[in-house]
Structure 1
Amino acid sequence: MPKLDLDAIPQTNATGYPPPYDQDVAGRRYRHLAPAAGFTKLGASHVVLDPGAYSSQRHWHEGQDELLIFLQGEAVLIEDQGEVPVHAGDILAWPAGDRNGHRLHNRSDKPCVFIAVSAGDRDEDRGEYPDIDMVFTPEGYFKRDGTPYPTKRAP
């Protein structure tokens, strides 16, 4: 089964982000590709960002590598060093432990599409959101002082 049928994979806009941080990703839709492919060690998602939507809150991972392959449209990568335009054919990469917070923003008037790939044990991963009072661990989302948010990380 090397060719996945995207239409057969459920699409969702679920997020575990607590309010108000969930609003930025309201226009993000994704399909988890890894379960459909039978992957157990690699995460992969097909992501669509509607105009105005963000891919996530700006974040970094301690225990997971991230690779993003941009397929269609355009967006702006926002990271510690500033903003960079991203177009179809571009590939972005962040190794585990790189504290360079990043996210994409679709500022165009058309949807953009990319594949997000992660490697590393999600159940051991943790990281931070540099712009907001939030960190994540395998147990969920927390304020920097350790107070838990009343939500769970989306699978």
Structure 2
Amino acid sequence: MPTINITACPLVKGSRYPSPYDEPCRNKQSQALGRASDLTQFGVNLVRIKPDAWSSQRHWHQHEDEFVWLLEGEVILVTDAGRETLHAGDCAGFKAGVKDGHHFINESAVDALLLVVGTRDDRDHGEYSDIDMRFLAGHYSGTGGYYETKDGKKLG
């Protein structure tokens, strides 16, 4: 049956970032809805960002398009262009290969709920705009996907 029982999807808290980069994202929760129906070509994640938490470190993807729809609440979208407030119903898209890092910050007093859809390309790699970290290809196959400094020193 293709129906997804969201309440049965595992709830992942925080991020996989090495310390101290994980701290701003500790009050984020996500559920991999795409995995629940064995989708392989794109990922679908339901992401809850608690007040004062971030969705991620500001990053960009080399081989993955990303689409985000804000279902509930209010967040600040941060890109190279600056800060923009998004409200429930607003959407944003990020094209693969564009080196303009993005992330969402919840500066409100209530939870924000995002639906995040992105390509699942094992070749994907990218960088974090504001910190000395990048992620490597191999995340989906388990053959890599770890973090390193921008000059190649493995982290975590």
Query: TM-score, normalization: structure 1?
Result: 0.92
Report the aligned-residue RMSD: 1.1
Is structure 2 residue 65 aligned with structure 1 residue 68? no
Query: TM-score, normalization: structure 2?
Result: 0.92
Where 2:12 maps in the other structure, the secondary structure is: coil
Query: Following TM superposition, where does structure 1 have runs of at least 4 consecutive aligned residues deviating by more than 6 angstroms?
Result: none
Q: Deviations over 1:93-122 (max 9, x none)?
A: 01100111000000000000011111141x
Give yes or no for contact 1:42–1:120 (8 Å, CA) kept in 2.
yes
- What is the CA distance between 1:144 and its match in structure 2? 1.0
- Structure 2 stretches lacking a partner, 5+ long: 138-143
Where 2:57 maps in the other structure, the secondary structure is: coil
- What is the CA distance between 1:81 and its match in structure 2? 0.1
Structure 1 partner of 2:45: 45
- What is the CA distance between 1:2 and its match in structure 2? 4.6
Counterpart Cα distance in 2 of 1:38 and 1:126: 22
Counterpart Cα distance in 2 of 1:5 and 1:107: 30
Structure 2 partner of 1:137: 136
Q: Deviations over 1:50-99 (max 9, x none)?
A: 00000000000001000001100001001100000011111100110011
Give yes or no for contact 1:65–1:120 (8 Å, CA) kept in 2.
no
When structure 1 is superposed on structure 2, of 22-31 and 32-41 the one drifting more is 32-41
Change (3 A) 1:120 1:32: closer
- Letter of the aligned partner of 1:144 in structure 2? K
Give yes or no for contact 2:76–2:105 (8 Å, CA) kept in 1.
yes
Counterpart Cα distance in 2 of 1:94 and 1:37: 24
Counterpart Cα distance in 2 of 1:130 and 1:14: 20
Structure 1 partner of 2:29: 29
- What is the CA distance between 1:14 and its match in structure 2? 4.4
Give yes or no for contact 1:68–1:117 (8 Å, CA) kept in 2.
yes
Counterpart Cα distance in 2 of 1:34 and 1:14: 19
Where 1:31 maps in the other structure, the secondary structure is: strand
- Letter of the aligned partner of 1:134 in structure 2? M
| Identity level (%) | 38
Counterpart Cα distance in 2 of 1:7 and 1:52: 25
- Structure 1 stretches lacking a partner, 5+ long: 151-155
Change (3 A) 1:14 1:83: closer
